[in-house]
Structure 1
Amino acid sequence: MNRQQHRTNDARQRSTLRWIVAIAAVTLVFDGYDLVVYGAVVPVFLRDPSQIGHLTPGQAGALGSYALMGVMVGALIAGAVGDHIGRRRVTLVAIVWFSVAMGLSAFATDLTTFGALRFLTGIGVGALVVTAGALVAEFAPPHRRNLYNAIVYSGVPAGGVLAALLALLSSDGDGWRALFLFGAAPLVLLLPVALLRLPESPKWLLARGHTVRARQVSDRTGVPLPEVTPSRTGERAKVGFAALATRRYALPTLLLGLMSGSALLLTYALNTWLPVIMGQSGYGKSYSLVFLLTLNGGAIVGGLLASRVADRYGPQRVIATTFVLAAAALALLTLGMPFPVLLALVAVAGVGTIGTQVLIYGLVSHYYDTVSRAAGVAWCAGFGRLGGIGGPVVGGALVGAGLPPANAFLVFAGVAVLGTLVTCFVPRRAAERVPARASSATEPLSGGGASVLAHE
């Protein structure tokens, strides 16, 4: 290949990567929006039974878990089919599914209908979470994988910020319906762009034996085809969830699921109940939503900074550290600090909970081979959602019991300590022990794909 062709391919590859990162990030903005918008409107539902019916704190927690049950189902379905039919198809279907279900939620008038639509919305969200991680892992350069992953998954807290801002601007009463109707925007704004600009992964196509299509996509996008290395018998021949049960992946898969469960329990518990808990502490609606903004804003900034450190020193050490930060911040929230200090602690808690989950997705999406990557991310998102399902329920039980708000924060701090311990026991991959500087020197953006598959 001459120098001019090389420059042309580099330009095409950079353009392809930018489009993939942008599309994946926007899809996850609406994941985060869906997560936080429910927490933002829970106080309205508790005050006004005319909206969807009489609601107790315990019922509100259970209702918040319906979407998370859907996320678990959607993630597992996407993991089961994503490694077989490809990332692009799953992404396109999930965008349509999520948008339609979210939009219909705006017209619900009773608890049963609203709960069913929350579950259906979650199915689309779960599929998007899985495919976003798989796409970034297969297109991003190895020495910047954690950074690009953090950019994409920072869409989740960014969506939380968007939901909190719109909730501040919305009126009480039926104002919540407009918030849910806005969640259908990807059907109009995102789907056409994804149809035009989202390619299938050449690495996945090659791994599944579609050599001609892989070469065509490589020529069109400038993404180099990886070198095909001899496969290991037994474990390497297995695709999707079957590969996760092999000796190579069984223990790490269990521990990664527990890591994700800890972080998602904290993420969903705080995003659902933080406005209510702070309201019980004497802060009105506006102040309570400011805490929600701070939680997700801290996750965005802290997650991006932590990802740069993770690219240099490895994600596991950074994840353990952010879990510790979450435990410390949540414990300190029980001490009745001045308002500015409370905001700072909530921001740190955002880094240690939502930001930690961003880093976990990055670790998981790079931990598995191409033929089992979607299944690995699906396990992380699906099994981890068991913790997410428990978050609103645990928060609802603590709030409904009439206990002091400090008790909830102490329980959440204990979960963060558990997450730290689990993280320390996850076996590290051999490829992760290579210093970042060496990786970047040998695996530049224009040619990273070949060496990645060799590592895998």
Structure 2
Amino acid sequence: MPSTPVDLEKRRRTLRWVVFLSTAALIFDGYDLVVYGTVVPVLLSDPDQLGALTPGQAGTLGSYALLGVLVGALAAGAVGDRIGRRKVMLVNLAWFSVGMAITATTQSVATFGAFRFLTGVGVGALVATVGALVAEFAPPGQRNRYNAIVYSGIPAGGVLAALTAITLGDSLGWRGLFWIGALPIVVLLPLALRFLPESPKWLVARGRYADAEAAQIRTGIPVPDPEPVVEDKVGFPALASRRFRLPTALLGMMSFAGLLLTYGLNTWLPQIMGDQGYGKNYSLTFLLVLNLAAIGGGLIASFVADRIGAKRVVASTFVLASLALAALPLSMPAAVLFLAVALAGVGTIGTQVLIYGLVSNYYPTSARAAGVAWCAGFGRLGGIVGPIIGGVLVGAGVGGSTAFQLFAGISLLGALVTTMVPRSSHFERPATDLAQDGDRSTVAA
């Protein structure tokens, strides 16, 4: 049945709410990621905060949240394709907020690490669920850009954390910075309860056709035709099927590389630059540039990905990161140095934004949440390794040059793995292909 003007307006309004709530949730994920990097220098220099802390211990402490993210992402993938995207989002908005609030009150390294882990569980579940949710609401031919908009919330949260630390860090202290991360439970959760719908595609995939039709009346989102279930498997078992086994491994390796670079740089860039003679605010400005460039560059790259395909763009941005990171240890004017940091942000954090979009469109609905969860969860192992590598190198006194060169090599490996990912019949075709088939009206919807 053709959509009426009322249905189209409902659909646009629903999409706006889904994108807004998903982006806002990931802004706080990005804030959590970067706020720890902004307080590391304080925790290292002042043992009265949590106790004596070495650089190696700080790197390990930074990985506790990522272990939680791994657990949360895999847990969300295990249940998200069975109980729905909405329930997972609501529960973990509250979980994440409570974790941040309790972390702000801790008094020792052990309790700080424990609640960083528990907070990470909520973060991981959100990251794993958002990609599936947005992919199922976004119009065909525009899914990469909508995923990029939403996942740009992560570097946007990094920008928020850096700006807050620069402007309010001295007055709020590190505990105040963590209290800010608890705001979703009072500003986002009530809105999500009211305006976040369940995915009609998921309802159809679970055989709940009456609920999907009721959702269409409320949201204007048309009820899709059922997709064939992959070998009668749902969630993680589908990823392990013969059809998806190889691409699942390769996509996980891509995310591993992307998140190793993202977390390694966000955790240690201020400290490395400080060791090279830059003042505190100057070092935090590098962090700001890194994440701002990731937002702008990731959005531009997503438009290109919708035209020519995400796989080509991801491989190219990995190579861009390698070149920029290899240049960072070189002596260069400040303007050129900031440009290199910006390009590194596009090629690392921006690349990870594109990877989430690629993965969320790679799998069918019956395995989409599990696919994104696998990518977010396994990738977080790279996020755990990144801060530890930085901590070991800084503690050994070899610092920036070696770390940047190592990260550049990992970027090249990420590009190589990307080129090996096979095409999937469920993978969204580029907009140029759709247009050539005469489907321009769908692309422009």
TM-score bucket (shorter structure): over 0.9
Output one character per residue of 1:238-271: Cα deviation in whole Å (capped at 9) or x when no partner.
Answer: 0000000111100000000000000000000000
Is the Cα–Cα contact under 8 Å of residues 77 and 127 in structure 1 kept in the other structure?
Answer: yes
Corresponding residue for residue 421 of structure 1: 416
Alignment of 1:107-146 (within 5 A): 107-146=105-144
Structure 1 segments unaligned to the other structure (5+ residues) = 449-456
Is the Cα–Cα contact under 8 Å of residues 38 and 272 in structure 1 kept in the other structure?
Answer: yes
Distance 2:311 2:432 in 1: 18
Is the Cα–Cα contact under 8 Å of residues 224 and 446 in structure 1 kept in the other structure?
Answer: no
Structure 1 SS opposite 2:141:
helix
Cα distance change of structure 1 residues 406 and 200 upon mapping to structure 2, 3 Å threshold: same
Match of 1:361 among 352, 356, 362: 356
Given the alignment of the two structures, is residue 442 of structure 1 paired with residue 442 of structure 2, yes or no?
Answer: no
Corresponding residue for residue 379 of structure 2: 384
Specify the code of the residue in structure 2 equivalent to 1:106: A
Corresponding residue for residue 211 of structure 1: 209
Is the Cα–Cα contact under 8 Å of residues 129 and 369 in structure 2 kept in the other structure?
Answer: yes
Distance 2:393 2:355 in 1: 27
Specify the code of the residue in structure 1 equivalent to 2:144: N
Alignment of 1:298-317 (within 5 A): 298-317=293-312
Alignment of 1:78-157 (within 5 A): 78-157=76-155
Structure 2 SS opposite 1:334:
coil
Question: What's the CA shift for 1:215?
Answer: 0.7
Distance 1:224 1:446 in 2: 16
Question: What's the CA shift for 1:428?
Answer: 1.6
Alignment of 1:16-415 (within 5 A): 16-172=14-170, 175-228=173-226, 231=228, 235-415=230-410
Is the Cα–Cα contact under 8 Å of residues 308 and 432 in structure 2 kept in the other structure?
Answer: no
Specify the code of the residue in structure 1 equivalent to 2:304: V
Question: What's the CA shift for 1:173?
Answer: 8.6
**TM-score, normalisation: structure 2:** 0.97
Distance 1:353 1:102 in 2: 26
Question: What's the CA shift for 1:435?
Answer: 4.3
Name whichever of 209-218 and 424-433 sits farther off: 424-433
Is the Cα–Cα contact under 8 Å of residues 85 and 129 in structure 2 kept in the other structure?
Answer: yes
Is the Cα–Cα contact under 8 Å of residues 155 and 291 in structure 2 kept in the other structure?
Answer: yes
* % identity of equivalent residues: 63
Distance 1:265 1:177 in 2: 26
Structure 2 segments unaligned to the other structure (5+ residues) = none
Q: How many residues align?
A: 443
Output one character per residue of 1:92-119: Cα deviation in whole Å (capped at 9) or x when no partner.
Answer: 0000000000011111110011000100
Question: What's the CA shift for 1:433?
Answer: 7.8
Distance 1:394 1:300 in 2: 25
Distance 2:413 2:309 in 1: 20
Distance 1:434 1:123 in 2: 33
Specify the code of the residue in structure 2 equivalent to 1:362: G
Distance 2:185 2:332 in 1: 44
Output one character per residue of 1:218-245: Cα deviation in whole Å (capped at 9) or x when no partner.
Answer: 111000001235x36xx34100000001
Is the Cα–Cα contact under 8 Å of residues 251 and 375 in structure 2 kept in the other structure?
Answer: yes
Distance 1:46 1:432 in 2: 46
Is the Cα–Cα contact under 8 Å of residues 70 and 124 in structure 2 kept in the other structure?
Answer: yes
Specify the code of the residue in structure 2 equivalent to 1:20: V
Is the Cα–Cα contact under 8 Å of residues 279 and 285 in structure 1 kept in the other structure?
Answer: yes
Cα distance change of structure 1 residues 123 and 312 upon mapping to structure 2, 3 Å threshold: same
Output one character per residue of 1:257-306: Cα deviation in whole Å (capped at 9) or x when no partner.
Answer: 00000000000000000000000110010000000000000000000000
Is the Cα–Cα contact under 8 Å of residues 88 and 199 in structure 1 kept in the other structure?
Answer: yes
Distance 2:439 2:123 in 1: 36
Specify the code of the residue in structure 2 equivalent to 1:160: G
Distance 1:51 1:170 in 2: 18
Question: What's the CA shift for 1:400?
Answer: 0.5
Is the Cα–Cα contact under 8 Å of residues 261 and 383 in structure 2 kept in the other structure?
Answer: yes
Distance 2:440 2:61 in 1: 47
Distance 1:14 1:79 in 2: 28
Distance 2:162 2:206 in 1: 43
**TM-score, normalisation: structure 1:** 0.95
